[in-house]
Amino acid sequence: MTSSATTLPRPAEPNESFDSTDLIRVTGGTPLTGEVTVRGAKNLVPKAMVAALLGSGPSLLRNVPQISDVRIVTGLLEAHGVQVRAGEQPGDLVLDPSSVDRADHAEIAAHAGESRIPILLCGPLLHRIGHAFIPDLGGCRIGDRPIDFHLDALRAFGAVVDKRPEGLHIEAPHRLRGTKITLPYPSVGSTEQVLLTAVLAEGVTELRNAATEPEIQDLIAVLQKMGAIISTLDNRVIHITGVDRLEGYRHLALPDRLEAASWACAALATGGDILVRGALQGPMMTFLNVFRRVGGAFEVEDEPGQTGIRFWHPGGPLSALALETDVHPGFQTDWQQPMVVALTQAQGLSIVHETVYEKRLGFTKALTDMGAQIQLYRECLGGTPCRFGQRNFMHSAVISGPTKLHATDLEIPDLRAGFSYLIAALAAQGTSSVHGISLINRGYEDFGRKLADLGAQVEFPA
């Protein structure tokens, strides 16, 4: 089985549908070697697109990847009258909210279940048109993922939330007012909800126990460019002083540290050597420490205009370790799944304690079918008790390695598991069929071509 340019799907433009092929065949055994480029972060770009709704003029977002979450948010914004078009340079997206005055409920409903971003439209829409219709959310099924913090925050600003069978209807009878909010947990989405709502609310908002992920810091940078006044203080406290008007922005999106780490894990698991152009050291420090402890080697490239990180397997055995996922600056939960695949090749017993999502280790069942030795536990094995300890969730794993993996048929359950299955298939003997690859398009731009360029034996059957 060989890779062939003619069998690879072309990435979609922001406004068009993706290739419907949903299967990839992967023949393992070849170390991945070469270069890939990561563009704007999946967990920043859609939120920066939503922020454009707050501006009184057009915004220009640069470094936008062609992933399906961008297409979904484009559709949602267009359903409210935002004009979205490609800009002059590759990766430029121009978002013009000047004629936003409506919410096309049928068009919005068509995006039900596709991503988690719709809930973040609430604040901007309430400021702009006084009401928001939010269909059922999608996103990865890695836990219950309630939105209680979001709704409590919106109510604290003065919004009225009505839950109906078709979705949420949210109204702002009066201008939203700044408020004091303490999040029960430093949730990324809820922090963004508060930011996107507080910037145009009347008065000051104080947010406590905020999340501080690099993508949030980049969203704050976007909002500041628009005219917002936001101070990030110590101890997860953010102060936002509401202003009356925001302008459009020009912004170069932060590169995707989650995709970069996935390629790093692919290099480790296949014994390869990958230069990830665009990857930045700062937002990846915690990952880099773990990568080094496992036995991976890396080199940061930061010449003017040429950033990137080269990741490689230096030879010899990899080392098992104990790892806990956590909110930033901890080990990001989205790094966990690809790292678990790499740990199946490490010598000894590794322990992984997933503290952010209660069901994010479910994907390991398929890895055990491929020959990995992974045992799941309900207990918090990492030393730090987490929210899931007493609640019967299999959220700790013990991985015994190294194990030879063999090819199998795989069905992708979620985005990161999907890429992790590709890594496992690349590290395995034989040819695996991986089904449901459209899920990977949510966060990995043009991954088929990137794999082929790295020497992977991949085929997309017609």
Ligand X SMILES: C=C(OP(=O)(O)O)C(=O)O
Ligand Y SMILES: CC(=O)N[C@H]1[C@@H](OP(=O)(O)OP(=O)(O)OC[C@H]2O[C@@H](n3ccc(=O)[nH]c3=O)[C@H](O)[C@@H]2O)O[C@H](CO)[C@@H](O)[C@@H]1O
Q: Which residues are annotated binding-site positions?
A: 42-43, 116, 334, 356
Q: Say how many C-beta atoms besides its own lie within 10 A of residue 379's C-beta.
A: 13
Closest approach, Cβ 335 to ligand Y, in A, equals 10
Rounded to whole angstroms, how far apart are CA atoms 119 and 128? 15
Q: Considering CB distances under 5 to 8 angstroms, the limit depending on partner class, which of ligand Y, ligand X, none binds residue 416?
A: ligand X
Which residues touch 237 (CB under 8 Å, ≥6 apart)? 206, 207, 208, 210
Binding residues for UDP-N-acetyl-alpha-D-glucosamine are 116, 334, 356
Closest approach, Cβ 303 to ligand X, in A, equals 30
Helix (H) or strand (E) segment spanning residue 330 = none
> With respect to ligand X, which residue has the nearer C-beta, 11 or 46?
46
First to last CA, the chain: 14
> With respect to ligand Y, which residue has the nearer C-beta, 256 or 273?
256
Q: Considering CB distances under 5 to 8 angstroms, the limit depending on partner class, which of ligand X, ligand Y, none binds residue 167?
A: none
> With respect to ligand X, which residue has the nearer C-beta, 67 or 230?
67
Burial class (CB in 10 A: 0-12, 13-18, 19+), 316: exposed
Binding residues for phosphoenolpyruvate are 42-43
Q: Considering CB distances under 5 to 8 angstroms, the limit depending on partner class, which of ligand X, ligand Y, none binds residue 150?
A: ligand Y
Closest approach, Cβ 56 to ligand X, in A, equals 29
Helix (H, G, I), strand (E, B) or coil at 456: coil
| Contact status, residue 60 vs residue 300, Cβ threshold 8 Å | no
Residue 37 backbone dihedrals phi, psi, to 5 degrees: -120, 135
Residue whose C-beta lies closest to ligand Y: 189
> With respect to ligand X, which residue has the nearer C-beta, 40 or 58?
40
Residue 140, token pair as written in the block:
């990865």
140 included as an active-site residue? yes
> With respect to ligand Y, which residue has the nearer C-beta, 189 or 295?
189
Which residues touch 389 (CB under 8 Å, ≥6 apart)? 379, 380
Q: Considering CB distances under 5 to 8 angstroms, the limit depending on partner class, which of ligand Y, ligand X, none binds residue 148?
A: ligand Y
Q: Considering CB distances under 5 to 8 angstroms, the limit depending on partner class, which of ligand X, ligand Y, none binds residue 443?
A: ligand X
Interaction site with ligand X (CB under 6 A): 42, 115-116, 139-140, 334, 415-416, 443
Plot region of 12 (φ>0 → left; ψ -120 to 50 → alpha; else → beta): beta
Closest approach, Cβ 250 to ligand Y, in A, equals 22
Residue 172, token pair as written in the block:
């702002």
Closest approach, Cβ 368 to ligand X, in A, equals 21
Q: What is the dihedral of CA 416, 422, 427, 428, to 10 degrees?
A: 120
Q: Say how many C-beta atoms besides its own lie within 10 A of residue 246's C-beta.
A: 23
Closest approach, Cβ 72 to ligand X, in A, equals 10
Interaction site with ligand Y (CB under 6 A): 43, 116, 143-150, 185, 187-190, 211, 213, 332-334, 356-357
Q: Sign of the CA dihedral 314, 318, 322, 324? A: positive
> With respect to ligand X, which residue has the nearer C-beta, 147 or 168?
147
Helix (H, G, I), strand (E, B) or coil at 45: helix
Closest approach, Cβ 213 to ligand Y, in A, equals 6
Catalytic residue among 122, 140, 265, 386: 140
Rounded to whole angstroms, how far apart are CA atoms 222 and 59? 10
Spell out the SS3 assignment of 178-232: CCEEECCCCCHHHHHHHHHHHCCCECEEEEECCCCCHHHHHHHHHHHHHCCEEEE
Rounded to whole angstroms, how far apart are CA atoms 434 and 382? 31
Q: Considering CB distances under 5 to 8 angstroms, the limit depending on partner class, which of ligand Y, ligand X, none binds residue 219?
A: none
Rounded to whole angstroms, how far apart are CA atoms 254 and 423? 25
Residue 269, token pair as written in the block:
């698991």
> With respect to ligand X, which residue has the nearer C-beta, 137 or 240?
137
| Contact status, residue 240 vs residue 205, Cβ threshold 8 Å | yes
Q: HSE-up of 98 (CA within 13 Å, CB side)? A: 5
Q: Say how many C-beta atoms besides its own lie within 10 A of residue 289's C-beta.
A: 11
Query: Which positions are catalytic?
Result: 140
